[in-house]
Structure formats: structure tokens, C-alpha cells
Amino acid sequence: MQNIHIATTIKLLCKVRGISINAFLKECELTKSFIYDLEKRNASPSADKLTKISNYFDCSVDYLLGRTDNPDSHKK
């Protein structure tokens, strides 16, 4: 279930920021099947991938994982 949340959050962040999923995947050097794998295959992203994604969107990993509703929780 957490992986589906990650995929949903990524889609939302792309939509809010006006970024296509393909552009996001390319910029983060992720495979084209990354989102599908999260949603349908219940694949778990590595810590490295989560870090790349959080850096790309400038949000916390906790936000991607659904541990907080505040994407800026990593900022002091």
C-alpha cells in the first residue's frame, strides 16, 4: 500500500508543478516502468531512488512515504 502512496504522491507533485511523468523519470534517471512497478508490482524503491525523487521535488522522504502531510518537513 505504501508503494501506491508513493506513486500517487509523485503523480500529484508532477501535476502541481506542471511536469510530465516522462520528464520526471528521465531527469531522475528512473525507468519508464517505475510508476507502474510501484502501483502494480508492489516494487519497493531503493533509498537511493527515494533520495533522488525527494531532491528533485525538494520534499522530504517522509512526505513521499506518507509519514507527514508537510512536504517541507525536512527544512529547518
Domain spans, the chain: 2-65
Helices (H) then strands (E): counts for the chain? 5, 0
Let me know the angle formed at the C-alpha of 28 by 48 and 54, rounded to the nearest 5 degrees: 60
Count CB-CB contacts under 10 A for residue 44.
13
pLDDT at 57: 96
pLDDT at 42: 82
Q: What is the pLDDT confidence band of residue 76, given thresholds at 50, 70 and 90?
A: low
pTM of the predicted structure, to 2 decimals: 0.88
Helix 2-17 to helix 47-57 angle (10° resolution) is 30
Classify residue 13 by its DSSP letter.
H
The alpha carbon dihedral of 41, 58, 16, 62 has a sign of positive
Q: What percent of the chain has pLDDT over 90?
A: 76
Quick: pLDDT tens for 8-44: 999 999 999 999 999 999 999 999 999 999 999 888 9
2-65: CATH topology is 434 Repressor (Amino-terminal Domain) (1.10.260)
The arithmetic mean of pLDDT across residues 40-53, rounded, is 93
pLDDT at 8: 95
